[in-house]
Amino acid sequence: MNVQATIDTSTEDMMANAIRALAMDAVQAANSGHPGAPMGVADIATVLFNRFMKIDPSADKWPDRDRFVMSAGHGSMLVYALNHMLGYDDMGMEQIRNFRQLGYRTAGHPEYGHAKGIETTTGPLGQGITAAVGMALAERMANARYGDDLVDHYTYVIAGDGCLMEGISHEAIDFAGHHKLGRLIVMWDDNKITIDGDTDVSTSTSQQARFEAAGWHVQSVDGHDKEAIAAAIAAARGVTDKPSMIACRTIIGFGAPNKQGSHDVHGAPLGADEIAAARETLGWSHPAFEVPQEVYDAFHAVAARGRAARLEWEKRLAGHPKQDRFESDQANPDARALDAAINAYKARLSADAPKVATRKASEMALEIVNGTLPNTVGGSADLTGSNLTFTKGMKDVTGSDYSGNYVRFGVREHGMAAIMNGIALHGGFIPYGGTFLVFADYMRGAMRLSALMGLRVVYVLTHDSIGLGEDGPTHQPVETLASLRAIPNMRVFRPADAVETAEAWQAALEMDGTPSVLSLSRQGLPTVRTKHTDTNMTARGAYVLREAPGVRDVTLIATGSEVEIALAAADKLAEAGVKVAVVSAPCFEAFAEQPDAYRETVLGSAPRIGVEAAIRQSWGGLLRPDDAFVGMTGFGASAPAGALYEHFGITAEAVMAAAKTLI
């Protein structure tokens, strides 16, 4: 699809002004929102959609559509105005009229899943451009697998100054340049305004030089000159071995005669007078929330063009030698095949009872997973040899060969997480990526969006306690588990051995709509699940690993590497005649969803002792105030792991001492 030979520029002016009018009017009606950005980028978006975008609003999930990401998510009215006029059937005018109101799809910032045609949730700055990098990477990876007939689309981004000031943008830009993502085209809304005023109060970077330094193709245009914008997009599309950045010099709030070009227009309604003046300035005589048919027709022509392309694509897909594989990659993973493979593997593990770190167990499980599911994509933020995320037969994805399935994310945790979001959003792949657990702090902004969007992304977070030893307090998570368990719709798995690790992987991959964290040990751990069962006990969240001989005197509840300690304590307590049950609790969130009867059976009514080399916060669902907890109360220290467990009193002896005070 190339630039159309003849464009009715007067209609295009109207299309852009329709965006402006809807943005002004909706923000005014809501008495809340951001008119400046949509009005400023209306010309860019109009040209992009009118002349280039390949989308079909009647098939919003068509895999080969172009992706559009409004990274400056506060400009959400741009997206809603476009999608309304393009004819998405869930974006009627009542949605626009009720912008930012309860029960409507038109949230303050675009929310993935709330309405069709929203490719990702944006608002937290820098997330959109980075997720777009993931989408553009996924496009090339799918193209390498299926060829141009099935996969041949662009990812377009509008990013503001805020997006480009955020650190994550560096990770995105650096990564995209290195991976030569030629189908990624970023239009920078260079309006020289941030909330605090002119951008020159806080930055003087040459964005053009910055992107060039990272290997991008860079152009600069007047963001209100439609022909210049079109020419630049066409040129960007022509550069296939570099991502493109088009610096579009714009006027924020373009058309509002008294407020445009100032931060007054950024995040507040224009007011009735200014809106009237803007209508005058723009020559827009239509009442609020009225769009002339001519404009609808023009946008519907874009939709029709996309529909035709989609139908052509479906013809190419039908009977394509790779049709089945393509379709299965788009669907949920083959749960039956995974279940069979994991169960066979678990049976071997229970028999062999290896003593391995759970990070190693994760690698072993991944050998099974990656051998069973063809569309996993692994990676690590430069800790491959520590996270053990690279399994046999994997191949690096590079800028000259996208056919691999392993991504070298570099020392870019936040970027990794947002890029994984983009890969998951693109579809066709299941991403997982590793770093140290403590560095979840670096990528939390993107992890929250995984959870908010409900994406199947797996975080492989190793070195998950003081058990990592000598690297010391900066590298030892103590509060990280609690902080991750706090995120709604995030599953945190902390498996105790190789069997639970396999189960955690299975549970994480089978869950649609929920990202997962795997919290994994650096240090070796014995197999505690030596009796095989096909049931995924880890998916239940917690279960009785060893029942007491009779009425329980005490219940020990432990996770991950501390299950070994709980079992050792149980042995000694049993010798002393105490009736002890040991509960392994690898996933608090899953356990909270179990029926009350099951939960009560597991927890029992005896005094409880929680054991986890972390702080007590987040144990509120398992422990009562009078129960005991053996764990951490502050930061760690630098020393061999064994010395640290002794020093901080996370030992079988400490558990026994706690038990004695309780029973």
Which one among 40, 63, 134, 162 touches a copy of itself, defined by CB under 8 A? Answer: 162
The DSSP 8-state label assigned to residue 584 in this structure reads E
Collect contacts of 353-356 with beta carbons under 8 A, ≥24 apart.
Answer: 353/526, 353/527, 353/530, 354/498, 354/527, 355/524, 355/525, 355/526, 355/527, 356/498, 356/524, 356/525
Q: How far is the CB of 485 from a copy of itself (least distance, A)?
A: 7
Residues 360, 448, 522, 529: which binds a copy of itself (CB under 8 A)?
448
Name the pairing type of β-strands 516-519 and 491-493.
Answer: parallel
Strand stretches in 481-623, DSSP E:
491-493, 516-519, 524-525, 543-546, 554-558, 580-584, 608-611
Residues 223-242 that bind a copy of itself (CB under 8 A): none
**Residue bearing tokens 């190339």:** 2
Options 94, 294, 297, 470; binder of a copy of itself; rule CB under 8 A: 470
Q: Which is nearer to a copy of itself, 511 or 643 (CB)?
A: 643
Nearest distance, CB of residue 77 and a copy of itself, angstroms: 12
Q: Is residue 175 part of the contact set for a copy of itself (CB under 8 A)? A: yes
One residue of 24, 214, 508, 569 binding a copy of itself per CB under 8 A: 214
Binding residue for a copy of itself (CB under 8 A) from 288, 511, 568, 639? 639
Site for a copy of itself in 485-504 (CB under 8 A): 485-489
What would the 3-class secondary structure string for 285-322 be? CCCCCCCCHHHHHHHHHHHHHHHHHHHHHHHHHCCCCC
Query: What positions carry a catalytic annotation?
Result: 413
Shortest approach of a copy of itself to residue 194 CB, angstroms? 5
| Closest CA relative to residue 36, chosen from 166, 157, 192 | 192
State which residue, 116 or 572, has the beta carbon closest to a copy of itself: 116
Task: Rank residues 210 and 322 by Cβ distance to a copy of itself and give the closer one.
Answer: 210
Could you give the CA distance from residue 124 to residue 71 in angstroms, rounded to a whole number? Answer: 9
What is the rounded distance in angstroms from the CA atom of residue 146 to the CA atom of residue 153?
A: 13
* Subset of 386-445 contacting a copy of itself (CB under 8 A): 386, 396, 408-415, 438-439, 441-442, 444-445
Residue 549's CB is within 10 A of a number of other CB atoms, namely 10
Sheet holding 580-584, edge to edge: 543-546, 580-584, 554-558, 608-611, 628-630
Q: How far is the CB of 603 from a copy of itself (least distance, A)?
A: 10
DSSP 8-state secondary structure symbol assigned to residue 117:
T
In this chain, which stretch among 82-90, 97-105, 184-192, 549-557 interacts with a copy of itself, using CB under 8 A? Answer: 97-105
Question: Out of 270, 566, 615, 650, which residue is the one contacting a copy of itself (CB under 8 A)?
Answer: 615
Number of residues that bind a copy of itself (CB under 8 A): 108
Interacting positions 14-43 with a copy of itself (CB under 8 A): 30, 32-33
Q: Please give the C-alpha separations between residue 324 and each of 5, 60, 647, in angstroms, as whole numbers.
A: 37, 21, 57
Interacting residues of 346 by C-beta distance below 8 A, sequence separation 6+? 499, 502, 503, 529, 532, 533, 534
The yes or no reply on residue 168 touching a copy of itself (CB under 8 A) is yes
Contact pick of 10, 285, 474, 661 for a copy of itself (by CB under 8 A): 474
Closest approach, Cβ 483 to a copy of itself, in A, equals 4
243 lines the binding site for a copy of itself (CB under 8 A): no
What CA–CA distances, in Å, run from 331 to 97, 316, 512?
A: 35, 19, 10
Residues 48-67 that bind a copy of itself (CB under 8 A): none
Instruction: Report the SS3 class of residue 89.
Output: coil
Residue 249: DSSP 8-state: E
Interacting residue with a copy of itself among 215, 271, 354, 524 (CB under 8 A): 215
**Are the beta carbons of 514 and 490 closer than 8 angstroms?**
yes
Nearer to a copy of itself, 130 or 375 (CB): 130
Site for a copy of itself in 183-212 (CB under 8 A): 194-196, 201-210, 212
CB-nearer residue toward a copy of itself: 220 or 384: 384
The DSSP secondary-structure symbol of 181 reads -
CB atoms within 10 A of CB 475: 18
Q: Which is nearer to a copy of itself, 403 or 617 (CB)?
A: 617
Question: At its nearest, how many Å lie between a copy of itself and the CB of residue 98?
Answer: 10
The minimum distance between CB 190 and a copy of itself, in angstroms, equals: 14
Cα radius of gyration rounded to whole Å, the chain? 27
Give the tokens for residue 469: 């030893």
Q: What are phi and psi of 160, to 5 degrees?
A: -100, -175
Q: Which of 11, 258, 262, 638 binds a copy of itself (CB under 8 A)?
A: 638
**CA–CA distance, 89 with 417 (Å, rounded to integer):** 32
Please tell me whether residue 575 binds a copy of itself under the rule CB under 8 A: no
Task: Rank residues 595 and 625 by Cβ distance to a copy of itself and give the closer one.
Answer: 625
With binding defined as CB under 8 A, does residue 318 bind a copy of itself?
A: no
By beta-carbon proximity to a copy of itself, the closer residue of 167 and 283 is 167
**Smallest separation (angstroms) from a copy of itself to the CB of 2:** 30
